[in-house]
Amino acid sequence: MKKLLRHGLGIHHAGLLPKYRVLVEKLAQRGLMKVICGTDTLGVGVNVPIRTVLFTQLYKFGGQTTNILAVRDFRQICGRAGRRGFDNIGYVVAQAPEYFIENLKADAKAAAKGKKSKAQKKKPPEKGFVNWDERTYAKLQSAPPEKLISSFSIRHGTLLNILSRGGEDGCAELRRIINVCHEPPGRKRTLRRQAFALFRGLVEGKVLTIIPKEKRTTLAKVELNVELQDDFTMNQALGLYLIETIPKLDSEAPDYVANMLSLIEAILEDPTVVIRKQVDKIKTALVAQMKADGVDYDDRLEALEEVEHPKPGKDFIYQTYNDFVLINPWAKEAGVRPKSIVREMFEGWFSFEDYIKSYGLERSEAVLLRHLSEVYKVLVQTVPPSLKTEEVEEAESFLEEIVRGVDSSLIDEWERLRDHEEVVEKVSVKEIPYTRRKAEFVRATRRVVFDFVKEISRENYEAAADLVGSKAFELREMMTGYFEEHGIIRMDPEARSSAYLRIEGDRLEQILVDEEGLNDWSVILDLDRAQSDVENRVVLCLRELGAF
């Protein structure tokens, strides 16, 4: 992007990280962008001076199918042409289809030679193409925009936000909201039934408790379960399924946190681009393996058709979901979507950059970031504290650090919206010396140690040296012989368990876990508390690395 921006060329689409989109918007507002190449996201809520809007095509892919632009979308994008206070007039241009232009050129060339054109056979439209012409362009300009249709719905989050209002009769307010919404009478009756079904599910799931009449001191008729966090909410349709299913996991099992992450990811929308890249990577590896094994072409095609993205624990997820739907029929429409993105990152201790490079997601970074932030929000606000082990809190901290490292505004704005007083409280807590914020500091220390082990496991000694104030050549010498003896350093969740990390005062010892289970190498580090407080980060110094 830097290379393009220096030439006055901007890019703006939903796959970009927010900071890049904001940068393009600011440069455009200062008149420094000659051209912005973007999707229809540029036509919504962005104050950018644009004199000419150019449509390269009049159709778009909507996630499932490809269709001609809606009149409303077309007008919204056209509305960017000519901004008040900057221009007296704006221009809207639409390119003709590529095959149409090529055929015109062929016609002209044939006419110049006095021959009959064969252009219609030369340039057929590409796959997924939807034809448009001047008539399509004129129709989009003159046709009335599509009618707005109300899509009001009732979800668990809606119920919780209304019913948990302090001192108010949330039940009466919920009835009033349904009565005044823009849905037709028949739809309103359906919404009342759905609201009651969701309410009953929340009561049976012990999320809400009905206050007996004799104990009511205010207009409120229900209250949140005292065991749930104060800011508890369920913004996902299957949040109740998640709460009821997590206790069925074995909290003592090594993969408890991984299985919990799988459940959380299963109730979220699929980040299609990321999943598609996962499938592509699996197919590429499978094709290479089948070619090496001499598998026939037809058999290879058949095998590739059966490839799907990773779905760890799918049998458990589908079974528990089907059981849940039998008792809660309203959940049938939501559907679970097993996947493994956050789980894969946590198990492999991937950084955001590692995962982007691994799957070639450079043009879709924002899609991955949104998914990570959604999983983090569910961990914080929906999973009850009583179900969170030390490893779960570590996963929560792992996600928070990744999202904050990429774009901290996502979490900061969410926290401000969630509870202003709590944010103020957190800001005041940061005045306490870094090393005295015990839980936060211990988690941060573990992360730095695991990052160091990850880098030496990849023989990336430059990055490892920066983490512990050492030198790359010294680390390379210390690690001489390890890989010949043990092959690899394991970095799975079991290898990162607290059993292999000893913290005694300011001395840390991390056992290097190998495949054979010998575990006879360790790294010993010293913690510099004074410098950690000064820099507000964990500062470690390498003391020893080798066999013990």
* Tens of pLDDT, residues 500-517: 999 888 999 999 999 888
Q: Is the pLDDT of residue 10 over 80?
A: yes
Higher pLDDT, 35 or 235: 35
In a domain, 352, yes or no: yes
**Using 50, 70 and 90 to split pLDDT, how confident is the model at 118?**
low
Name the pTM for this structure.
0.79
User: Contact 332/361 with Cβ under 8 angstroms?
Assistant: no
Distance CA 225, CA 350 (A): 36
Beta pairing, strands 521-527 & 540-547:
antiparallel
Closest CA to 408 of 388, 419, 422, 423: 423
Per-residue pLDDT tens over the stretch 464-500: 999 998 899 999 999 988 998 898 999 888 888 888 9
User: Contact 450/464 with Cβ under 8 angstroms?
Assistant: no
C-alpha triplet 488, 492, 493: angle, nearest 5°: 150
Q: How confident is the model at residue 425, as a pLDDT?
A: 45
CA distances from 336 to 25, 241, 277, 333 (A): 37, 10, 20, 10
DSSP code at position 285: H
**Residue bearing tokens 């094709």:** 287
Give the SS3 label for residue 289: helix
In a domain, 272, yes or no: yes
Q: Is the pLDDT of residue 169 over 70?
A: yes
In a domain, 140, yes or no: no
543 and 462, same structural domain? Answer: yes
Distance CA 150, CA 365 (A): 32
In a domain, 371, yes or no: yes
Give the domain-ending residue among 431, 455, 477: 431
Distance CA 510, CA 235 (A): 39
Distance CA 18, CA 472 (A): 35
In a domain, 298, yes or no: yes
Q: How confident is the model at residue 119, as a pLDDT?
A: 47
E strands, 117-247, are 208-210, 222-224
Residues with Cβ < 8 Å from 99, sequence gap 6 or more? 123, 124, 125
385 and 265, same structural domain? Answer: yes
Give the SS3 label for residue 475: helix
User: Contact 10/24 with Cβ under 8 angstroms?
Assistant: yes
* pLDDT-above-90 percentage for the chain: 44
Total number of domains constituting the chain: 4
**Which structural domain, as residue segments, surrounds residue 327?**
253-431
CA distances from 193 to 10, 240, 241, 535 (A): 49, 18, 19, 56
DSSP 165-202: STTS-HHHHHHHHHHHSSS-HHHHHHHHHHHHHHHHHH
258 and 398, same structural domain? Answer: yes
296 and 260, same structural domain? Answer: yes
User: Contact 456/527 with Cβ under 8 angstroms?
Assistant: no
Residues with Cβ < 8 Å from 283, sequence gap 6 or more? 304, 307
397 and 281, same structural domain? Answer: yes
Q: Is the pLDDT of residue 424 over 60?
A: no
169 and 121, same structural domain? Answer: no
Q: How confident is the model at residue 230, as a pLDDT?
A: 64
Token digits of residue 419: 């509870």
In a domain, 136, yes or no: no
420 and 272, same structural domain? Answer: yes
Distance CA 44, CA 42 (A): 6
Residues with Cβ < 8 Å from 386, sequence gap 6 or more? 227
Residue type, 358: S
**Using 50, 70 and 90 to split pLDDT, how confident is the model at 431?**
low
Per-residue pLDDT tens over the stretch 204-237: 877 888 888 888 878 888 887 766 666 666 777 7
Per-residue pLDDT tens over the stretch 324-382: 988 888 788 788 999 999 999 999 989 999 999 999 999 899 999 999 999 999 998 88
Q: How confident is the model at residue 322, as a pLDDT?
A: 94
524 and 391, same structural domain? Answer: no
Give the SS3 label for residue 515: coil
**Using 50, 70 and 90 to split pLDDT, how confident is the model at 429?**
very low
478 and 337, same structural domain? Answer: no
Distance CA 396, CA 391 (A): 9
326 and 401, same structural domain? Answer: yes
- Phi-psi category of 2—alpha, beta or left, where left has phi over 0 and alpha has psi -120 to 50? alpha
In a domain, 239, yes or no: no
376 and 291, same structural domain? Answer: yes
345 and 455, same structural domain? Answer: no
In a domain, 7, yes or no: no
Q: Mean of the per-residue pLDDT values for the chain?
A: 87
Distance CA 2, CA 6 (A): 6
Q: How confident is the model at residue 125, as a pLDDT?
A: 66
Distance CA 339, CA 314 (A): 8
